[in-house]
């Protein structure tokens, strides 16, 4: 099963937190994006985030993949106290080839991916031909204004 994962961190050693995701999926990575620095939004009085996308080919079911992502967050001591607040690690399943779900625990594709430059820019880097809901990622990105995302 091919999937796109989006990871982000702005607490502690953000690079190490993102590397933990790369390490977990090392044998399954088709492509890994560069790191991107992203200005926070929603709650702006916090450090910039580092973001990265991975295109992976996994044997896991969608639920098993979700459990793996949540385990990575737990290992990084992720605390969910505040919406859009700082976090040690956030690992989202953005897209799974041939799979959709509107289950609140696992909504695929990610319901806000099309609105987020920090998701779309790294995704485009790992899969230049990617399409989300029938629209090319490059077109979705063109339709967004600058959201403070910088490739490092």
- The residues that are catalytic are 78, 87, 90, 92
Instruction: Residue 30: count other Cβ atoms within 10 Å of its Cβ.
Output: 14
């Amino acid at each position: 099963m091919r999937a796109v994962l989006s990871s982000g961190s702005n607490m502690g050693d953000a690079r190490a937190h993102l590397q933990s995701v790369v390490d977990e999926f090392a044998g399954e990575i088709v492509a890994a994006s560069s790191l991107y620095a992203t200005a926070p939004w929603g709650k702006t009085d916090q450090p910039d985030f580092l973001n990265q996308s991975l295109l992976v080919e996994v044997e896991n079911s969608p639920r098993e993949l979700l459990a793996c992502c949540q385990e990575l967050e737990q290992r990084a001591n992720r605390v969910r106290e505040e919406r859009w607040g700082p976090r040690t690690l956030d690992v989202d399943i953005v897209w799974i080839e041939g799979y959709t779900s509107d289950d609140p625990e696992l909504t695929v594709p990610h319901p806000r991916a099309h609105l987020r430059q920090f998701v779309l820019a790294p995704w485009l880097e790992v899969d230049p031909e990617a399409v989300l809901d029938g629209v090319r990622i490059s077109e979705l990105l063109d339709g967004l204004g600058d959201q403070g995302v910088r490739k490092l």
